[in-house]
Structure 1
Amino acid sequence: MTDRARLPSPPGPPLRAAPSLLRKLATDRLGLVSSAVSEYGDAVRIRMGPKTLYLFNHPDHAKHVLADNNANYRKGIGYIQARRALGNGLLTSDGELWKEQRRTVQPLFGHARTAEYADVVSDEADKLATRLKSAQNHGSVDVVREMTAFTLRVLGRTLLDLDSGLPGSIGRSFETVQDQAMFEMQTMGMVPQWLPLPTGSRFLNARRELGETVDDLVAYRSTNPDPHGDDLLLRLLRSAGPDRDSPAKKQRIRDDLITLLLAGHETTASMLGWTFHLLDGHPEVMSRIRSEAETVLGDRRPKHEDLHSLPYTMMVLQESIRLFPPVWILPRRSRYADEIGGYHVPAGADVLICPYTLHRNPKFWDRPDRFDPERFRSDRAAERPRYAHIPFGAGPRFCVGNQLGMMEAVFVLVTVAKNMRLSKSGRPPVPEPMLSLRLGGGLPMKVHGTDGPFRPSRI
């Protein structure tokens, strides 16, 4: 057995670099992690005053932390502090509470249930295309905002069984709550909540709006129960038990619902935004998506069984989330001392697995900054380690809604590709590493027609 105490610590910047690293943590988090692995390799110790981060950037490291020895790792830096903003929902919880929450919602995201959602997703994708097409010759449209509205409507109609879906207007409230969660991460929760900061005021208003929306949904479902229903609200109410009206259980239902809605719409909207950004610079890729869509679908809407018949579209999305993974970093905290990649990791260490840098590791990706969907041809993908590509995390905490998110993205891509072309009309978006990898500044795009007439898909 290896004497872990005798193992070396990973290399990293000297302690005197701590002030500049702290500034970079606040202003350029992607630059911080990218420069660290570029200079020091696949294992880096980053000391920032009293806080030390252990950054690991190899597929074997990711497999060890997220899967093989996952019991030794709990949610880490950032997520703990974000509980003040997000509550103790599925994203921030741990231990038995997390297991119970996961068991409650898991059946809603299985293969069979995802297939049942396909008609709703294709219907909303068609409505999205109609809204986008109406903007043709009328300036630009913020594609990120449109994708956010789309994903919120899908979640409302599928998970909550709401006829009209969730209003897109609450997307801004979710943004504000996420901004506050990121502020809590950066400041380690050390800034008192009573300080009259503008961000704090906006957060309280946004949190109140979301709380009222959620409370209204819960009240409606409580007074209109469906004994045969199995949507998210009913599952949360049933899991709360007979004392679900107690303040503690009400807060737990609220936390669970807000967290799931935030994570469920934000990651997919970001994935679609980054994909349209990349496609604008690669019209030949968009042409191949259009050709595949027309061959497979003709003028009908996509169905769940079509996913296997749209391999190139799926490859494009896989490459998009390689370059801009929705879950850009996975922070963990070790319970006990461990060995990772031959290095000593002490108990209580803040360990980071960063898909953003892992997906650009030149040991596993040729010309890693280049957009190349062909990387995900089956023959080429088979050559890479499984954990070289983890856009939705890995192990037991693998993103529960990944199948639904990918289906949404495929349906939107093929529906848009058949009917229009989008081109950026402003500055390129700046990667904004929040809870997900957002497009800073949004994505204003102009809508152009294709050679054929626009017509909504037939069912």
Structure 2
Amino acid sequence: MTAVRPVREFPGPPARQAPALLARMARDRLEVMTSVAARYGDAVRLRLGPKSLHFFNHPDHAKHVLADHAANYRKGIGLVHARRALGDGLLTSEGEKWKAQRRTIGPGFQARRVNGKADAIAQEAVRLVARLRARAGDGPVDVSAEMTGLTLAVLGRSLLDADLGAFDSVGASFEAVQDQAMFEMMTLSALPTWLPLPRQLRFRRARADLEQVVARLAAERAAIPGPDGDDVLTRLVESVRGEADPRAGRLRMRDELVTLLLAGHETTASTLSWTFHLLDRHPEVWERVHAEAVEVLGDRVPTFEDVHRLRYTGMVLQEVMRLYPAVWLLPRQAREADEIGGYPVPAGADVLICPYTLHRHPGLWEDPDRFDPERFDPARAAGRPRYAYLPFGAGPRVCVGSALGVLEATIVTACVARELRLSTAPGHRVRAEPMLTLRVRGGLPMRVRPVR
């Protein structure tokens, strides 16, 4: 007779605390995830009225959900509801549609193509330094806004071979779409989109504006093919050419481009914002980054070959993404009943993997809240569980643009640190805002001081 293995009981706050827990989540989602992990351990059930969230916080759990049994876990709570704002782009789609989208855009992120965009990234970084230098001695500059503009420009040049700066409102439209997507996630799409609320009205205008941007980009690309014929925009134009309904094709392009550009520029902009905040907080780290940039780059514009020589800068960025991972939460939903780490997961259960808490797990990281780039020295990193660090997710749905993001962040950090010292405006409190990405709440006002 086969022995029946006992199933563990999920720990977690009692059901009677659901209203208070919901209120806390509305105020500070990071605090809730951090506190329940500290109190209840690596597997926690959060009862929220009729719904429960199954929160797992161990590398083995992440490997099970994201990689080994990924087919059993579709996109979960929040992202499903964000589809009403984002449409069926790569971030929210499933199954064969997702596979087709990945095949369409994947070649745009091949190493050959990404590495070839280092010059374009460096040119944008040089322009950024010039803009910041021109503000030296003036009032604070919103570094988050500058990073957003820079990453949008880089994505336009590297993925679309197009100048997104020609569209004045595109940044504001992306912001409105992201706000709506987060609102849908938090309210679980409870409010109809036709309600004339100010947020809904801004979102409708933004969607209409982005649809016009997509139509113009597609028309321009059809008239003038991309230089290598393999950029993402060209591939998207070709993928919808056979649509029987041209409007349906335009809407599909809109969804895919909006998702791609929103996820692509927002993640890297957030990482760069946190990088300059932490360099300001840790002047000894800034000194090393500055010295490395001067030694490796001299007075030259960076090239792709320089990136591998910016070793300490790379360690700094890895540590920034540990403390403030842009993709801070990976929600999934179980298709069929499963067992994770001995805990039962019913069919249809909402499952959460949280890189933010996993990256600060005291059993995995020494002094986890301390900013210490040296922890990513290969000698110290040896033996660390592979799934203890997930800045780009893992498994089949790992971020397709991770290599481009790292390349961009490395070049921009080195260029800025070589020339400038950025310091947070006096009295400004820097706080994290867990939206679609983990961004700096309300911008990052910093003063600029040239050092060369």
TM-score range, shorter chain: over 0.9
Once the two structures are superposed, the pairs formed by residues 343-422 of structure 1 within 5 Å of their partners are 343-422=343-422
- Which residue of structure 2 lines up, in the alignment, with residue 194 of structure 1? 194
CA contact (8 A) 1:9 1:345 kept: no
Please state if 1:251 is matched with 2:265.
Answer: no
Please state if 1:308 is matched with 2:308.
Answer: yes
Q: 1:227 to 1:379 in 2, by over 3 A?
A: closer
Quote the offset at 1:358 in angstroms. Answer: 0.3
Instruction: Provide structure 2 residue ranges, at least 5 long, that are not aligned to the other structure.
Output: none
- Which residue of structure 2 lines up, in the alignment, with residue 455 of structure 1? none
- Which residue of structure 1 lines up, in the alignment, with residue 286 of structure 2? 286
Q: 1:19 to 1:163 in 2, by over 3 A?
A: closer
Distance in 2, matches of 1:272 and 1:227, equals 29
Distance in 2, matches of 1:148 and 1:419, equals 20
Give the letter for the 1:268 counterpart: T
Distance in 2, matches of 1:374 and 1:355, equals 20
Q: Secondary structure at the match of 1:404?
A: helix
Distance in 2, matches of 1:61 and 1:304, equals 36
* Percent identical: 59
Q: 1:168 to 1:422 in 2, by over 3 A?
A: farther
Give the letter for the 2:440 counterpart: L
Q: Secondary structure at the match of 2:80?
A: helix
Q: Secondary structure at the match of 2:279?
A: helix
Distance in 2, matches of 1:413 and 1:103, equals 31
Instruction: Provide structure 1 residue ranges, at least 5 long, that are not aligned to the other structure.
Output: 453-459
Deviations 1:138-192 (Å, cap 9, x if unpaired)? 1110000000010011111111112575657422221211111111111111111
| Higher mean C-alpha displacement, 74-83 vs 245-254 | 245-254
Give the letter for the 1:411 counterpart: I
CA contact (8 A) 1:244 1:250 kept: no
Q: 1:91 to 1:30 in 2, by over 3 A?
A: same
Deviations 1:3-56 (Å, cap 9, x if unpaired)? 68x523421110001001111222211111111101100000001001110000
Distance in 2, matches of 1:351 and 1:416, equals 40
- Which residue of structure 2 lines up, in the alignment, with residue 441 of structure 1? 442
Q: Secondary structure at the match of 1:108?
A: helix
Quote the offset at 1:218 in angstroms. Answer: 1.3
CA contact (8 A) 2:152 2:164 kept: no
Give the letter for the 1:431 counterpart: A
| Higher mean C-alpha displacement, 219-228 vs 277-286 | 219-228
Q: 1:424 to 1:101 in 2, by over 3 A?
A: same
Q: Secondary structure at the match of 1:288?
A: helix
Q: 1:232 to 1:186 in 2, by over 3 A?
A: same
- Which residue of structure 2 lines up, in the alignment, with residue 161 of structure 1? 161
Once the two structures are superposed, the pairs formed by residues 215-226 of structure 1 within 5 Å of their partners are 215-225=215-225
- Which residue of structure 1 lines up, in the alignment, with residue 428 of structure 2? 427
Please state if 1:41 is matched with 2:44.
Answer: no
CA contact (8 A) 2:161 2:226 kept: no
Q: How many aligned positions are there? A: 450
Once the two structures are superposed, the pairs formed by residues 230-241 of structure 1 within 5 Å of their partners are 230-241=230-241
CA contact (8 A) 1:275 1:317 kept: yes
Q: 1:2 to 1:339 in 2, by over 3 A?
A: farther
- Which residue of structure 1 lines up, in the alignment, with residue 324 of structure 2? 324
Quote the offset at 1:383 in angstroms. Answer: 2.6
Moved runs in structure 1, 4+ residues, more than 4 A?
1-4, 163-169
CA contact (8 A) 1:18 1:48 kept: yes
TM-score by length of 1: 0.95
Deviations 1:206-231 (Å, cap 9, x if unpaired)? 22222221221112222334595111
| Higher mean C-alpha displacement, 195-204 vs 430-439 | 195-204
